[in-house]
Amino acid sequence: MAARTRRPDRRQEPLTRERIVDAAVELLDTVGEDGLTFRALAERLATGPGAIYWHVAGKSELLSAATEAVVTAAVADEPTEPTGPATSPRDGIRAVALGLFGATERHPWLAPQLAAQLSRSPWGAVAPRIFESIGRQVQALGVPRDSWFTASSALMHYILGAAGQNAANTTSADTFGPGVDRARFLDEVSTAWESLDPDEYPFTRAAAGQLRGHDDREQFLAGIDLVLAGISALHPPAS
């Protein structure tokens, strides 16, 4: 009887919750929330849906885990300056803000998920992680303890609101087709504002030109500076 030749074992990367979440983020980025199904995820991971359910109970838990993973990465970066690591709490706040701003740009599904999770389950992992990242820097600014919550909440609301609106604007601009770039889109909006009734919208008409060619990121950071200036004026460091 001829001896059987033993085939070498095929070594596959073990299925873990982390791999599942990473694959879910990739699917969300490419096909959106509607395309995130356990069947599609199983195909991407070359496994069966049952194996995924062993690690994740359902789609709601999967969306929460994907949101947490992206937010964790976004707020993890240390603030830096051209000459090296930044030490200013203001730089720390700007770094957290830019991390979240960039994450909502790269992941179109993130902003609505953040809004949903912060309203439905503020006790979950996402809200405390963002609040902690901002709050530590607010504390380092010397804001009095009894003003920590108000100051940190104002920053958090501005960051998430402005970043989410920017992501929504980007998505809306994309729906006009590849032939309409951002500059043309802004020019059309500015022109529409300039055509408004001068008696009913005098301010909007006067500011319309500033909309053309503005840099979203610079405008976002300018808003951060305005909020920080207000916090410093209203809540000076305790003696």
More confidently predicted of 150 and 86: 150
pLDDT of 77 over the 80 cut: no
Phi first, then psi: what are they for 71, rounded to 5°? -65, -40
Cβ atoms 167, 217 nearer than 8 A: no
The pLDDT, as a whole number, for residue 21 is 96
- Give the range with max mean pLDDT: 85-99, 160-174, 185-199: 185-199
pLDDT tens sequence across 185-230: 888 899 999 999 999 999 999 999 999 888 999 999 999 999 999 9
Q: Using an 8 Å Cβ cutoff, are 127 and 220 in contact?
A: no
pLDDT at position 60, please?
92
pLDDT of residue 177: 60
Q: Are 15 and 3 in contact (CB under 8 A)?
A: no
Range in 85-94, 100-109, 219-228 with the lowest mean pLDDT: 85-94
* Token output for 180: 């309409």
Cβ(223)–Cβ(93) below 8 Å: no
In the predicted model, is pLDDT for residue 3 greater than 60? no
User: What is the Rg, in whole angstroms, of the alpha carbon atoms belonging to the chain?
Assistant: 23
Strand (E) or helix (H) holding 2? none
Beta strands at 80-81 and 84-85: parallel, antiparallel or unpaired: antiparallel
Residues above pLDDT 70, as percent of the chain = 86
State how far the Cα of 99 lies from the Cα of 133, in Å rounded to an integer.
11
For 127, phi then psi, to 5°, come to -60, -50
216-234 helix and 89-106 helix, angle to the nearest 10 degrees: 140
Q: What is the DSSP letter of 144?
A: -
Amino acid at position 53, single letter: Y
Would you say residue 159 has pLDDT above 70? yes
Q: What is the pTM of this model?
A: 0.84
Give all domains of the chain, ordered by start, each with its CATH number. Answer: 15-56 (1.10.10.60), 68-234 (1.10.357.10)
Query: Mean pLDDT lowest for which of 40-44, 51-55, 83-87?
Result: 83-87
Mean pLDDT computed over 7-25 = 78
Mean pLDDT computed over 174-189: 73
What pLDDT is stored for residue 9 in this prediction? 42
